[in-house]
Amino acid sequence: DGGITQSPKYLFRKEGQNVTLSCEQNLNHDAMYWYRQDPGQGLRLIYYSQIVNDFQKGDIAEGYSVSREKKESFPLTVTSAQKNPTAFYLCASSNGRGREAFFGQGTRLTVV
């Protein structure tokens, strides 16, 4: 079945360490997105990519980095520069403007 896979579901990280969240899709979608969700807030866009080898910053890109070397994969690295990294991270994909978006199951990152 087609879909988006995020891993891991739960992740613990020591302060000062970088960590990479995985997002893979087999929907053949061109566009992929990373969102962050904090309690009581709507999802906010971190980075997005509309095509392989190209990506743009979203509204809260500071402290994060991404790559898009393959159409299927859009990993997100949470760097030590991110001041408040504990959050729920969601990956999504779609096939263009006005098309349905598909979401992964999310990764809950906790910095200890």
Partner 1 sequence: KNEVEQSPQNLTAQEGEFITINCSYSVGISALHWLQQHPGGGIVSLFMLSSGKKKHGRLIATINIQEKHSSLHITASHPRDSAVYICAVSGDQGAQKLVFGQGTRLTINP
Q: Which residues bind partner 1 (CB under 8 A)?
A: 31, 33, 35, 40-45, 48, 50, 56, 58, 88, 90, 92, 94, 96-106, 108
Output the smallest distance, CB 99 to partner 1, in A: 7
* Residue nearer to partner 1 on the CB measure, 13 or 80: 13
Residue type, 78: V
* Residue nearer to partner 1 on the CB measure, 17 or 56: 56
The 3-state DSSP class for residue 43 equals coil
* Residue nearer to partner 1 on the CB measure, 80 or 88: 88
